[in-house]
Amino acid sequence: EITLDPPLSTRIITISNQKGGVGKTTTAVNLAAALARKGMGVLVIDLDPQGNASTALGVEHHNAVVGSYEVLVDGVPMIQAVKQSPEHQNLLCLPATINLAGAEIDMVSVPNRERILSTALRDFLGESETPIHYVFIDSPPSLGLLTVNALVAATEVLVPIQCEYYALEGVTQLMANIERIKLALNPELAIGGILLTMFDNRTNLSSDVAAEVRKYFPKETLNATIPRSVRLSEAPSFGQTAISYDPRNTGSLAYQEAAIELSQRGTGI
């Protein structure tokens, strides 16, 4: 068993790709669960109105739950809205309710609207009774104000890329947007990495896409690659991550490898 050293300061990792269905949420919750299992203190911030990350972590997110909407729009302190994931030790979640679907409009009149999450999160990290070593922010499939808040709050961004046709489509645009946020709003934002997801070793297509991504992003792309695995897709229906549902599964093992790699290589790429 590899033991991990906690980072010197909290790493805040936004999982971003404006395409839907590329594995953002699956990546956020399974990396979070893998690091929590290694004894790290972890917080997952669900910023997608679908609330899929909250579901996977077994955290309630019906519309009466106080969650990310109330933090962003009503100014509720994050410490009052964060819940413990019942399935994992050391793993907290700020849930997303369907209310969040209206948040981008409701946030428009708030001063410094790009920095609401960043400020709320820094306050939380100062107040939390337990140490938080990693924060994962699961963002919606768009480049709107929620995603901007996620990128402004982050120290790094991790981009999942699905090993499918058109994998790189939109990635150039995403990188340009990250650069823009960096210049205008968050100079410390780093590319934390690119993670290849849904790799199918029975197809040439997956290998071709993986090779192409590694050619364009040789430093950024993690060595660990996430295979297609039914376990990864069925775990959320049990209110679980694959890490807790079936830790020996190939998908779970790959996320554990990716988590270790992420932790060991730090932010400096």
Cα–Cα dist 136/118, whole Å: 13
Q: Report the residue number, 21 or 75, with the smaller CB distance to ligand ADP.
A: 21
Tell me if 233 contacts ligand ADP by CB under 6 A: yes
Size of the site for ligand ADP (CB under 6 A): 17
The residue type at 131 = P
To the nearest whole angstrom, how small is the minimum distance from the Cβ of residue 242 to ligand ADP? 9
Tell me if 81 contacts ligand ADP by CB under 6 A: no
To the nearest whole angstrom, how small is the minimum distance from the Cβ of residue 20 to ligand ADP? 4
Q: Report the residue number, 35 or 163, with the smaller CB distance to ligand ADP.
A: 163
Residues contacting residue 230 through CB under 8 Å, at least 6 positions apart: none
Two tokens at 96? 């997303």
**Partner residues linked to 162 by β-bridges:** 197
Residues making contact with Mg ion (CB under 5 A):
24-25, 48, 52
Tell me if 61 contacts ligand ADP by CB under 6 A: no
- Residues 110-149, one symbol each (x = binds ligand ADP by CB under 6 A, - = not), give -------------------------------x--------
To the nearest whole angstrom, how small is the minimum distance from the Cβ of residue 183 to ligand ADP? 26
Tell me if 25 contacts ligand ADP by CB under 6 A: yes
What is the DSSP-derived secondary structure letter of residue 174?
H
Exposure of 195 in the CB half-sphere (CA atoms within 13 A):
32
For residues 53 and 65, the answer to whether their CB atoms sit within 8 Å is no
State the binding partner of 197 from Mg ion, ligand ADP, none, CB within 5 to 8 A by kind: ligand ADP
Tell me if 251 contacts ligand ADP by CB under 6 A: yes
To the nearest whole angstrom, how small is the minimum distance from the Cβ of residue 48 to Mg ion? 5
Q: Report the residue number, 99 or 241, with the smaller CB distance to ligand ADP.
A: 241
Residues contacting residue 120 through CB under 8 Å, at least 6 positions apart: 71, 72, 77, 78
Q: What Rg value do the Cα atoms of the chain yield, rounded? A: 17
State the binding partner of 21 from ligand ADP, Mg ion, none, CB within 5 to 8 A by kind: ligand ADP
Residues contacting residue 131 through CB under 8 Å, at least 6 positions apart: 6, 41
Exposure of 186 in the CB half-sphere (CA atoms within 13 A):
24
Tell me if 26 contacts ligand ADP by CB under 6 A: yes
What is the CB neighbour count within 10 angstroms for residue 118?
19
Tell me if 229 contacts ligand ADP by CB under 6 A: yes
For residues 119 and 153, the answer to whether their CB atoms sit within 8 Å is no
Which one of 52, 99, 206, 263 is in contact with ligand ADP (CB under 6 A)?
52
Which one of 14, 18, 90, 197 is in contact with ligand ADP (CB under 6 A)?
197
Beta strand pairing call for 156-162 and 11-15: parallel
Q: Which residues bind ligand ADP (CB under 6 A)?
A: 20-26, 52, 141, 197-198, 226, 228-229, 232-233, 251
